[in-house]
Amino acid sequence: MFWRSISRRCSRVLLQFSSRTLSSAPRPDAAVASAPPVLPRFDHQPKPYNGLSGDEILKKRQTFLGPSLFHYYQKPVNIVEGKMQYLYDENGKRYLDAFAGIVTVSCGHCHPDVVNSVVEQTKLLQHTTTIYLHHAIVEFAEALASKMPGNLKVVYFVNSGTEANELAMLMARLYSGNLGMVALRNAYHGGSAGTIGLTALSTWKYQIPQGEIHHVINPDPYRGVFGSNSDAYVKELKDHIDFGTPGKVAGFIAETFQGVGGAVELAPGYLKSAYEVIRKAGGVCIADEVQSGFGRTGSHYWGFETQGVIPDIVTMAKGIGNGLPLGAVVTTPEIAQVMSQKIQFNTFGGNPVCSAGGLAVLNVLDKERRQVHSADVGSHLLHRLRSLKQKYELIGDVRGRGLMVGVELVTDRKDKTPAKQETAFLFEKLKDLGVLVGKGGLHGNVFRIKPPMCFSKDDADFLVDAMDYAMSGM
């Protein structure tokens, strides 16, 4: 599979680089950092760890877990504790977590308000079916609906982003009476049979018939065939509908910021025109906010707001629960009504523990003004990364908003040749320096920087300094 082949290639890359890169003289026009950067001071002492070692865990994973389960790094990190924006391994080494914000954590690892809400609710009642009444689910739904614009007022709770997108696709088809779903290339919408069909990244998509799912050109300002010309991308979408699926469009789904695809922000104005085309064709518009929601972009609470649109259906997960298995779909009363014609039920969706935790997350984000914080720190981070780009030709593009940032590495800026080997090497080097980032993009050459939203300017400086130090010897 793809990730195992990546792991093998990384081994070869490290051998190649160890013999030439670290010992080679730096470029004459680049100043070399004299010493590795030091993590910002943080007042937390991790508890001693006496559990299985990383080697033992890896062996058991290989024996008892599915072979498709991949891991990062040549020597995987055994993470045993987390506190806010930091993680600790089995030996007590501290890492700056510049990635788990997009994986699950919005408020910070083990935020006391969220932990206390979950613990207190667990002591009272862990689960009850929604056939009975419970205050936690309605309080959470009311708070979440209050964050939505327009007539997006009806909430469905599920357990993951995949489930949320599956339900949204079902809603679109039932409401429109059509089957055809339209998605973007380079997108990622989940791991189920249905959402894998929406996903156009070849490394994730299984070769099985999906049926009535169509992909249109990705409006990527950096790599897209039309650059930032949203009108050209929308014309291709319209032509696809007119000649490929006339009168059969159920819905259109898009991330405003493609996450797995490499932190790609769609061309300005694309969604506004695309939504008009889809609605005219009889379909509904779905915004996948699984990675970009809850103020992460800084400028807006929801990613779709950066494009000046209001979707018909919004899906969300990951940071919504700060690590809890929680997702949600929010739609209009008109679309929700079609679901009442049949039984729609989710055993654990909106259970008391997850609802209590989700409400605590919303309260923390408001109380600690995390949207404003993300805008401030993100602006600082992007400024420093763009300065770093001026220093290293290896950096082809720095993009993003707030604390949703991508750094794309290329070996040739003109041709935008993906720097696959260099990315793999630097990925390992950053881990050794104490920084955990993500990787993404079709070619695996984009650093995905999406930390918990308590990430500070000092953390941003350490991250950029670590990148500078890692690149300085190349």
Residue 124 pLDDT grade (very low, low, confident, very high; cuts 50, 70, 90): very high
Task: Work out the angle at residue 267's Cα, subtended by the Cα atoms of residues 321 and 205, and round it to the nearest 5 degrees.
Answer: 60
Per-residue buried b or exposed e for 167-205, using 16+ beta carbons within 10 Å of the residue's own CB? bbbbbbbbbbebebbbbbbbbbbbeeebbbbbbbbeebe
- Long-range contacts (CB closer than 8 Å, 24 or more residues apart) made by 194-203: 194/165, 194/166, 194/169, 195/162, 195/165, 195/166, 195/169, 198/165, 198/169, 198/253, 201/260, 201/261, 201/442, 202/442, 203/2, 203/442
Most confident of 20-29, 97-106, 184-193: 184-193
pLDDT at 468 over 90: yes
Among residues of the chain, what percentage have pLDDT more than 70? 89
Supply the pTM of this predicted model.
0.90
Contacts within 8 Å (CB) and 24+ apart, 392-401: 392/30, 392/471, 394/419, 394/422, 394/471, 394/474, 396/222, 397/222, 399/221, 399/222, 399/263, 399/264, 399/265, 400/257, 400/263, 400/265, 400/449, 401/257, 401/265, 401/297, 401/298, 401/299, 401/306
Kindly indicate the confidence band of residue 33, based on its pLDDT and cuts at 50, 70 and 90. Answer: low
Query: Distances from the Cα of 471 to the Cαs of 36, 245, 352, 393, 429, in angstroms?
Result: 12, 48, 48, 10, 9
Percent of the chain with pLDDT over 90: 76
- Which two structure tokens, joined as six digits, stand for 128? 């009850």
> Which of 15-24, 36-45, 251-260, 365-374 has the lowest average pLDDT?
15-24
* pLDDT recorded at residue 105: 74
Q: Residues 269, 277: contact at Cβ < 8 Å?
A: no
Judged by phi (left if over 0) then psi (alpha if -120 to 50, else beta), residue 190 lies in left
The mean predicted confidence, pLDDT, of the chain is 89
Model confidence band, residue 103 (pLDDT cutoffs 50, 70, 90):
low
**What is the distance between the alpha carbons of residues 210 and 162, in angstroms, rounded to a whole number?**
16
Picking from 89-93, 188-192, 421-425, which range would have the lowest pLDDT averaged per residue? 188-192
Confidence tier at 13 by pLDDT (50, 70, 90)? very low
SS3 278: helix
d(CA 208, CA 226): 30
